[in-house]
Structure 1
Amino acid sequence: MDLRNRPKAAICAFVVLILALAIVYGVFHHIQQEKKKETTASGKGSIPVQVAEAKVTKLENVLELTGEIKPGTAVDVYPKVGAEIIEKMYVETGDYVKKGDLIAVLDDDVIKAQLEEAKAGLAAAEAGLGQSEANLEVLEKDRSRIEYLYEQNAVSKQELDHINAQYKAAVESRKLASAQIEKAKAALNQLQVLYGEYTIRAPISGFIAARYMEEGSRTSPGQPIVRISYEDELKIVCSVTEKDFHSLRKGMKTEVTVDAFPGKVFKGVVSVVSPTIDPSTRTAQVEIHIPNQKHQLRSGMFARIKLYLGERKGLAIPSVALNKMPGTGSYYVYVIKDNKAILKNVKTGITQGDLTEITDGLSENELVVTRGQNRLYDGARVSVEDKEGKGGYRR
């Protein structure tokens, strides 16, 4: 949009808003006048009503939040062996698997051949060690005999040195053969570990949320085969405003509802509270965990959360006393003073049972009309026939 046109657009929007408010006010004023004419025409001096007092009472401080249900844990299962063909897949999307269950098997012909070769190499190394030990045993006997003969001056020093050199060489040969065995064992162990990676098993229990590859596909370490979603415990991550942050504690109980189960309440608990507030949004994150062993809830559902922060006192009236301004989200009530109905605009807080908190517009002990207000208008004369709520509020 051209920057030069922005002021014009803002002015147009403002004018439309003013016109809409004027129309709403006009309709509301017309309704009030019609009620007044109707009452005058009936010839009755006053309108019978029932009333209740606005009282300060104990209210459960409830924080209402919304969020998306997520799995407790979600794991993408990657193959550790690349460039191999998937020979068999044992799971489908939606299957439930337990930790350790078989997911897929890769073509293992090449690795099996390498294992056989490694086993043969180990056998050859062990045979070489056996030969070295046999040679060393013979040389050890010859060395002892030559040393005795040398002491008897029956052989020369040269012969003694020669047998000693052969003996040392045999000792080194046995060390080399032992090293060859260790090397062959290490190679075999490495191949056995690698061979185990050709059988892919579930690292956690859960549902197969996605299957990314099919039988015959070639694996890549950068591409997962399946995703496993752990649904036995779910979580919801919500943002809480700065003003409510100080009331949050780990372990707080919550109630969770979803559209899939109307009227059913699932219990949850606050498990994680962010230690800091995001300066850009002035909110902090809270994580709510929900047990789900029966798997009624599923990740991806939209949830409404009620987080109970404890009791507090607030001014409340019966909810039936509230009237909604046509075309708006605003509320008003009729207050009785000197046998007249006075219209007052009010701001509401939480609703608890049949009571609604009033945060602005009313004072304690004012009488509000709970029945008969459909005939009232601002300034109408009334006769109070009954007073409700005696002793009905908790102090």
Structure 2
Amino acid sequence: MALKSKTGIIIAFILILLFIGFAAFNYVRQSEKENITVNKTETVPVQVAEARLTNLQRVLELTGEIKPAAVVDVHPKIGGEIIEKIYVETGDYVKKGDLIAVLDDDVIKAQLEEATAGLAAAEAGLRQSEANLRASSASLKSSKANLELNKKELSRVNSLYEANVASEQELDRISAQYEVAEAQYNAAEAQYKAALEAKNLALAQADRAKAALNQLQILYGEYKIYAPISGFVAARYVEQGNRTDTAKPVIRISREDELKIVCSVTEKDFPHLKKGMEAEITVDAFPGKVFKGVVSVISPTIDPATRTAGIEIHIPNKEYKLRSGMFAHIKLYLGERKALAVPTESLNKMPGTGSYFVYIVKDNKAILKNVKTGISQGNITEITDGLTEKDLVVTRGQNRLYDGARVSIEERGAVGSEAS
């Protein structure tokens, strides 16, 4: 009996506790309902601003990889020769004309010595032939003068003979002298022609020897490899002792004092681009720092496959802060346009989405409006859909609002400057 009595007491105690808990729960629930009712009837003070047409900059934002203005792979012009010395390493700065490498030149030097000796011999032969030609020319001139003199004497004696003043014996003597002078002239002329031919042959030999020497000298110059442009050695492909291959570069030189970014713009933005337009460039390596560039190349055509056009933005880089390979963000300002804008502080982001909403005030009530945004400039943001001009958007106090909440406007703000 005692055990049953205790069990009954315990059960009764539990029931009493359950009753008290249920009563407390109902009390709290009723209190919350009353608070909600009170809150729903609360008037929330807010600050508002009109959505207005405002002059905004048309900004084109692009991205691209920074590249050097020029990159040159330096190839040897002679293949199969041993690289005797390389004077640069990766990362070195070289100026245009600096010596980069030299090749083993023992063979070419021997060929140069032989060609130099050959030219000297050819020039000596040419000088001798020229001397012979001058002597032959003098002999020809003398024999010609002697022939002319004998010709005149023969004519004179022949006239005297016809006048019976000179004898036949005298005429025969003068005729014989003329024939000797003519034979001497013919021999001198033949000797002159032979000397002239020999001189021309010697001149041709000298020219060939000079050309051969010049070719070897040019070839000898190729045994030294010079930097064709100024820049940094971006890569070195060979080592000392390797044999050259005209298809394989020795080094790569990257010009970094001027850089470029190659990117594409859409057909819609293409008409607004102009050469010389300034570009603002930022990179992750220098947060907050803006570098200036210029639109230097604009493709004259649109690619029909992508509906885009290529452009090049050139960036001065005299201090070498930027380097090729960096990823860049670019802003191009394409001119002003009118757009509906609101203070950025009026925008509220929906959790878990990229969408925005605002509260507008109408008839002393807050109305939730989903909006689509465009560009932001300073403390204002473009609204592309969801609002109309002169809508009153809530800029302060929206954290206490819900759709349909009662509000009182405490202050009116302004946004931008109204478009004319």
Q: Which has the larger radius of gyration?
A: 2
For residues 48 and 91 of structure 1, the distance between their equivalents in structure 2, rounded to whole angstroms, comes to 73
Shift of 1:169: 1.3
- SS for the counterpart of 1:246 is helix
Contact 1:149 1:155 in 2 (8 A): no
User: Which residue in 2 is equivalent to 1:45?
Assistant: 42
Q: What TM-score comes out, normalization by structure 1 length? A: 0.85
Contact 2:262 2:310 in 1 (8 A): yes
Contact 2:66 2:326 in 1 (8 A): yes
- SS for the counterpart of 1:50 is strand
1:226-375 alignment to 2 at 5 Å?
226-375=251-400
Shift of 1:153: 4.7
Matching residue within 79, 83, 100 for 1:82: 79
Matching residue within 113, 116, 120 for 2:113: 116
User: Which residue in 1 is equivalent to 2:70?
Assistant: 73
- SS for the counterpart of 2:404 is coil
For residues 294 and 272 of structure 1, the distance between their equivalents in structure 2, rounded to whole angstroms, comes to 23
Contact 2:40 2:405 in 1 (8 A): no
Question: Does structure 1 residue 133 correspond to structure 2 residue 130?
Answer: yes
For residues 313 and 141 of structure 2, the distance between their equivalents in structure 1, rounded to whole angstroms, comes to 81
For residues 185 and 387 of structure 1, the distance between their equivalents in structure 2, rounded to whole angstroms, comes to 94
For residues 322 and 37 of structure 2, the distance between their equivalents in structure 1, rounded to whole angstroms, comes to 58
- SS for the counterpart of 1:243 is coil
Shift of 1:298: 0.6
Contact 2:293 2:315 in 1 (8 A): yes
Shift of 1:375: 2.4
For residues 40 and 56 of structure 2, the distance between their equivalents in structure 1, rounded to whole angstroms, comes to 43
Question: Does structure 1 residue 60 correspond to structure 2 residue 57?
Answer: yes
Partner deviation per Cα, 1:139-186 (whole Å, 9 max, x = no partner): 445555666777435848666544433332121001100111111111
Partner deviation per Cα, 1:117-144 (whole Å, 9 max, x = no partner): 1111110001111222233344445555
Partner deviation per Cα, 1:298-333 (whole Å, 9 max, x = no partner): 111100001000111111001111111222211111
The 3 A distance-change label for structure 1 pair 38 and 91 is farther
For residues 231 and 381 of structure 1, the distance between their equivalents in structure 2, rounded to whole angstroms, comes to 63
Greater CA deviation, 40-49 or 308-317? 40-49
Matching residue within 383, 386, 394 for 2:408: 383
User: Which residue in 2 is equivalent to 1:29?
Assistant: none
For residues 281 and 129 of structure 2, the distance between their equivalents in structure 1, rounded to whole angstroms, comes to 75
User: Which residue in 2 is equivalent to 1:165?
Assistant: 190
For residues 178 and 42 of structure 2, the distance between their equivalents in structure 1, rounded to whole angstroms, comes to 152
Partner deviation per Cα, 1:56-78 (whole Å, 9 max, x = no partner): 11111111111111111111111
Contact 2:82 2:243 in 1 (8 A): yes
User: Which residue in 2 is equivalent to 1:203?
Assistant: 228
For residues 322 and 37 of structure 1, the distance between their equivalents in structure 2, rounded to whole angstroms, comes to 31
Shift of 1:39: 5.6
Partner deviation per Cα, 1:201-238 (whole Å, 9 max, x = no partner): 11111111111111111111111111111111111111
The 3 A distance-change label for structure 1 pair 146 and 283 is closer
Question: Does structure 1 residue 187 correspond to structure 2 residue 212?
Answer: yes
The 3 A distance-change label for structure 1 pair 195 and 376 is same
Contact 1:129 1:177 in 2 (8 A): yes
Q: What TM-score comes out, normalization by structure 2 length? A: 0.80
For residues 226 and 233 of structure 1, the distance between their equivalents in structure 2, rounded to whole angstroms, comes to 20
The 3 A distance-change label for structure 1 pair 58 and 141 is closer
Shift of 1:244: 0.9
For residues 71 and 40 of structure 1, the distance between their equivalents in structure 2, rounded to whole angstroms, comes to 68
Matching residue within 97, 107, 118 for 2:94: 97
The 3 A distance-change label for structure 1 pair 148 and 252 is closer
The 3 A distance-change label for structure 1 pair 301 and 165 is same
Greater CA deviation, 294-303 or 82-91? 82-91
- SS for the counterpart of 1:320 is helix
Shift of 1:364: 0.7
The 3 A distance-change label for structure 1 pair 156 and 43 is closer
- SS for the counterpart of 2:62 is strand
Aligned-residue Cα RMSD (Å) equals: 2.2
User: Which one-letter code corresponds to 2:338 in the other structure?
Assistant: K
More helix as a share of residues: 2
Query: How much identity, in percent, do the aligned residues show?
Result: 69
The 3 A distance-change label for structure 1 pair 148 and 128 is same
The 3 A distance-change label for structure 1 pair 139 and 348 is same
